[in-house]
Amino acid sequence: MRRKRLLRAAGAALLMLGGLTAAGTVPATAHDATTAKAPASEGLLTAMRHDFGLTREQAEARLASERAATKLDPKARATAGAAYGGSWYDADSGRLTVAVTGAASPATRAALREAGATVRTVRHSARALDAAKARIDRLKAPQGVSSWHVDPKAGTVVVGVVGDRRADNDVQSFLTRARAAGPVTVETVSKAAGTLAAGTVGGDPFYTGNVRCSIGFSVYGGFVTAGHCGQPSAAVYGWDRSYVGNFQGSSFPDNDYAWINVGSGWWTVPVVLGWGTVSDQLVRGSNVAPPGTSICRSGSTTHWHCGTVLALNETVNYSQGAVRQLTKTNVCAEPGDSGGSFISGDQAQGVTSGGWGNCSSGGETWFQPVNEILNRYGLTLHTA
């Protein structure tokens, strides 16, 4: 059945090789007339209505405003300059919020508002917060510390600590050193994150050794996925157990990314599988969705689920070691979903790294941004 679907999709230039890919938001300025056009396929609108409890009109409006915020975000960063304190999408107002320090001039604030952003004054610049996080990244974190990231809303580096480990001496010692690095807020989490690879059970490709993971995005010559799924040169087999290619590059921990070459009759197409929940999604680019925007994930175990971007550039402390520059979401995932696609609109966002929880009770999942993978290996995203 999967083979028939792939053949049909290849003919229509719609399907991705044996597993999954990802896509994301199409950006537009706050005043761009393109925001009046249909922002997504019928399938994506259906998923948004189901996962966010929205009407069709509300889903269309949210996706259109997210497109505008995504395109405005890099322009706002450039306009704010050294006074930039971070930015995020506010679902209630449907606008991008841009934080600036007191050093921002009245003219800068006016320019941001004129561009369509909401402006908020904060104490610390994004540069200062990023520097504080970089200092924390150099610390050795105990297992009771789950992750840390810059939160522009809070104006601090938020450090997640597993609730029943907060009183541990090694956790308290880490927090003392973290607070010395800069402004820190401690957040209690219920569980630590873990990677989401699985042993061979029935379902989607791909397989390597005794591990099943999920395909992320097509690139010219292969696809990208999670680094913890396999080591360089390891052979990869597709959903039908036929040979696909080999890991050409892989990094884990510190990073969690890899790429696999494709041959032996396999091919790549710029599509993310919707698994019948939504129509398969074309990939048109990789513009980064800011915090607060909606995002969906495609994986070989739990298929299609959506949620919200919670934080960028988070360091996650897995049992195997810390992984940096991950994006945090409240989308659920389960073992075997590792490496699968995160998309926002029709823009590729990243490949599933790990998380906690499941798709029955909920949880949180992190992904490795796709642009970092492309840059690391000199790859080109296959787009429609």
Tell me which residues are annotated as active site: 228, 256, 338
Residues contacting residue 318 through CB under 8 Å, at least 6 positions apart: 192, 193, 194, 195, 253, 354
Residues contacting residue 272 through CB under 8 Å, at least 6 positions apart: 16, 20, 21, 22, 23, 217, 280, 281, 283, 298, 341, 343
**338, 257 in Cβ contact below 8 A?**
no
Instruction: With residue 364 as reference, give the H or E element that holds it.
Output: strand 362-369
Q: How far apart are CA 142 and CA 319, in angstroms?
A: 9
How many Cα atoms sit within 13 Å of 65 on the Cβ side?
A: 21
Token readout for 176 is 């003392």
Pairing of strands 156-162, 194-195: unpaired
Dihedral sign from CA coordinates of 184, 188, 194, 195: negative
Residue 303 has φ and ψ, to the nearest 5°, of 65, -115
What is the CB neighbour count within 10 angstroms for residue 107?
A: 9
Residue with tokens 């966010």: 52
**214, 339 in Cβ contact below 8 A?**
yes
